[in-house]
Structures are given as C-alpha cells and as structure tokens.
Structure 1
C-alpha cells in the first residue's frame, strides 16, 4: 500500500474502533484494496458520485460496516445466504463479503458498468463465495432463497419488499438502509410485513441521518 494511502487506513481503523468492531488486519487490507479499485474505476466509469477518498471511507466503507453491530448474528448464522439488491459498486454487499469471506453473497445490479466492476472486484479480491447477478431483481432466479436481503436506498420500502419477496427464505428478513425516514413511505408498507423499530445508525465521519429497518413477512 502506498504511503499516501496510510491516512486513509488510519481513518478506516479509527472508524472501526468507534463502531467497536474487531476486524483482523487482513480484513482491513482487503477493505483498503477494494477502496483503491473503486477509486481507480470511478475515474473512468463514474460508479459513485463520491470522489474524495476520505469521503469514500466514511460514506461507503464505514457506512456499510455500521450494519455489523446489528446484522452480525444473522450473517454468521449456519446456512446464512445474503442478497444485496441494487448493489451499485458493492455497497454494502461486497463490504460484508470481505468481513465474512465464507458467507455466500449475491450482489445484484442491472447496470452493466457497475456489474463489470463487481466482477472485477470479486476476482481481484479473491471473493470466491460472491456471485454477481447482472439483472433486474424481479427476473433473478437463484438456486436457493436468501436468509437476508439488503438494500442501500434501492427503492421505496414497499417496492423493495414487493420485488424481493420471492427471494426471501422462510424465516428470513429484510435489512433496508435508509437516510431520513419519511412517514408516507413507512405508511405505504403492506400490512402483512412487520417492521421492527427503525434503528439509528451512527456512522463515524457522517453527521446526517442514517437508519436501518429490519422487516419480515407476517
């Protein structure tokens, strides 16, 4: 890793400490390698509007890692399978795959440029349990359903639940990342879906609303 990247690693490890996560150095190395690949590809393919590397650490890496205090039990459970819908450049799906390299993860995005980056990142980082699905979510037919389906501002909640219901395993749950919560969006969720009390996420380096909503069919 180049010397110029050292402050970025320090920013990342400081955020990891604030989140009270215990991640090995090898995992931090992988996260930094992902960041470098994203920055390189973003210059050519405009994968994310965030250009500043420090902001990428906060808005992409730490934002995704902020899920772990809540989702760790589900991700580490026997038989766990994760689908990340509208993954973009792999957020949070690839970040969670780096932390849990044995977890079967599918990152799904219909955008060709983003899917090409996802395949490149999977090869470069050696993420052997990750599948890249370049398709619309309603057309995706996996070999097995998923115990956890995530999204990061993919769509309105009601649409997210409707489009992915066929992909959720019995007893599985949805985990939707949101910024500011709108009462109208929550009110539009079908009555046969139970949403737990929204959880406020504290993301190091970000002074803005971030929430996680856990839900399951009733």
Structure 2
C-alpha cells in the first residue's frame, strides 16, 4: 500500500478495535478502498463536506461501524444514504445480508453504483429516489439513516418499509412505533412503546435490539 493508504488502513483497524470490532483483512481493505474512492470522487463532486481522507475515517467509517453490533435481520434499507453511509460500510461488514441504499441525489447514487462495482458488493442495491416515491419490492428487517432530524420524522417517513419480524406493535396505542434505536445519528429497529423519550446516543446504544422503552 502507498503511505496514504497505509495510514487510512491502520486508522480504520484501530478505530474498529476501539469499538471492539475485529475486522478481517478483506473488510479492512474494502473499507480503505471505499475511503480512497470517496476522496477521489469528492474532488470533482460534492459528495461530503469532509475533504480529508483521514477525517473521513473518523467522521464516516468509524461512525458507521458503531452500529454494526445492533444491526439485525437479513434485509436492510439505508435511507438518505448520501455516498453510502452507513449502507456501504454495513454491506462490507455483512456480506450475507442484503442492503439497499436510497438517495435522491443523482451524483451520490452514481458514486454508490461505482463503489458497488469497484468493491464487488453483490449484496448491495442502489436506488435513486426520494423516500416519498420509493417503491419497495418487499419490506425490510431493518432501516438505517443519517438523514432524518429526529426519531419521530424517521418513523413517520419509513414505517411503511419496515417488517415487524415477529415483534407486534399494537395498533391504536397512542405513540406506538415500530421504531428505531438511535446510535451516532443512525437507526436500527427497536420496539418503542409510548411516546419517544429524550435519550442520549449512549443510552440508546447501550440498549439491546428488541428492548422496549416506556
């Protein structure tokens, strides 16, 4: 690897270890190649405000890796994925799961298609559409997003894509949501009964998927 690539590769491995995540050699290599590809495209297209590849590691890669232990199910929809965050990172980490990344920005979806081809991510589908007009073939086991300003907006905008996976959420209960665990601005399914309480990211991330908040 070139010096810059080696620095990024090392930073990714160390950042993952800090999250108690052990990357395989292939995963570390793919994540490094993704960062380099993102940095290259970002010089011509405004894919992310983060310009420095090393900063991309901490701001994008490690942040996306922080929800790896919380992702459940076999099919995941990443809404407002931008250049593929966290969707492409998760697709690298979970080659046995199916990921769909959704974004309305054509430049960003073209980049994701290029990343899919370059990284040979057979488990990734890329959709260029707004969430309001996206037509899912089947419901998803999990939904992730960095694009929504609140859990309430996230639930309202995506609940029709979500498959309960055997966890019933009673209808007609005020404030009941087939909703989502918030972790570093990203979300994975969790049952939340009652109104959505104010919780820190640390509080949410310490919870187990399938837990119930009163």
TM-score range with shorter-chain normalisation? 0.7 to 0.9
Is residue 49 of structure 1 aligned with residue 55 of structure 2? Answer: no
User: Which residue matches 2:87?
Assistant: 93
CA contact (8 A) 1:119 1:132 kept: yes
User: Which residue matches 2:174?
Assistant: none
CA contact (8 A) 1:102 1:129 kept: yes
Gaps of 5+ in 1: 180-189, 202-209
After TM superposition, the score normalised by the length of structure 1 is: 0.78
Question: How far is 1:200 from its partner?
Answer: 1.4
Identify, as 1 or 2, the structure richer in helix.
1
Gaps of 5+ in 2: 166-177, 186-191
Q: Secondary structure at the match of 1:170?
A: coil
How many residues are aligned here? 194
- Alpha-carbon displacement from aligned partner over 1:4-62 (angstroms, at most 9, x marks no partner): 32112111111111111122101100000100110000000010000111110000100
Question: How far is 1:199 from its partner?
Answer: 3.9
User: Which residue matches 1:200?
Assistant: 202
- Alpha-carbon displacement from aligned partner over 1:124-161 (angstroms, at most 9, x marks no partner): 11111111110011211111100100111433322211
Q: Secondary structure at the match of 1:146?
A: coil
Say which structure, 1 or 2, has more relative contact order (CA 8 Å, 6+ apart). Answer: 1
User: Which residue matches 1:104?
Assistant: 98
User: Which residue matches 1:206?
Assistant: none
Corresponding residue to 1:148 among 142, 147, 167:
142
After TM superposition, the score normalised by the length of structure 2 is: 0.80
Distance 1:169 1:195, change over 3 A: farther
CA contact (8 A) 1:85 1:149 kept: yes
How far, CA to CA, are the matches of 1:215 and 1:193 in structure 2? Answer: 17
Is residue 174 of structure 1 aligned with residue 176 of structure 2? Answer: no
Identify, as 1 or 2, the structure richer in strand.
1
